[in-house]
Amino acid sequence: MRILLVEDDDILGDGLRDALDMAGETVDWVQDGVSAVHAISSETFDIMVLDLGLPRMDGLTVLRTIRENHHDLPVLILTARDETEDRVSGLDAGADDYLIKPFAFEELQARLRALMRRRSGSASNILQLNDHVVLDTGAREVRVDGTPINLSRREYALLEELARHRNQVLSKDRITELVYGWGEDVESNALEVHIHHLRKKLAYPLIETVRGVGYRFRDASD
Ligand code: CA
């Protein structure tokens, strides 16, 4: 998933970005509220991790602003132990969950997964892609007829995004944004190459090309 991390603390922000990156997620990190609102209005993210005490615009205002602009992405707020009131205001302003600093990284990961599950209406980490193929977002593993297949980090991210948007056509630009994030040099045919490898490894026809537009994940019933 592509995560917008909004945290002004250098050490925490840097550490979180690296840890999420190591875990295979696509992370973009901004350090103030104005940049967060700008990022949300110009790019596509799956989820936002939002600190409340931020320069230029505080986290609560960021949250209210993006909700007023009808951005419905899941938001997890990070608060200090003594900010009970802010936490309540945050949930009232449309946050989906919160974590109290300091927290264990594993808990952040588990909560992000839970938010993504809730969003896709699924109660488990297991996405059944068709009768043969299963995607396990907890283990970041894809199994074909019970056997785990070896996917690169990008291939996995790509498949997860397509599977989360089942039956929707995703444009190449949107997929590239979700899978790569900012500041990555993406070669012009990189996406096609990943799709090609992914199709070979999956063995079953799950990814459909929509000519001139992008790709669509086929419904399991096909
Ligand atoms: Ca802060």
pLDDT in tens, 50-109: 999 999 999 999 999 999 998 889 999 999 877 888 889 999 999 999 999 999 999 999
pLDDT of res. 59: 95
The strand ranges marked E within 24-155 are 26-30, 47-51, 75-79, 97-100, 126-128, 133-136, 141-144, 147-149
Tell how far the Cα of 157 is from the centroid of ligand 1, in angstroms: 29
pTM score, two decimals?
Answer: 0.82
pLDDT in tens, 129-186: 999 999 998 889 999 999 999 999 999 999 999 998 888 999 998 888 888 887 677 7
pLDDT in tens, 189-198: 888 999 999 9
Tell how far the Cα of 45 is from the centroid of ligand 1, in angstroms: 21
Tell how far the Cα of 137 is from the centroid of ligand 1, in angstroms: 30
Residues 53/8, Cβ–Cβ less than 8 Å: yes
Tell how far the Cα of 59 is from the centroid of ligand 1, in angstroms: 9
Tell how far the Cα of 53 is from the centroid of ligand 1, in angstroms: 4
Cis before 102? omega within 30 = yes
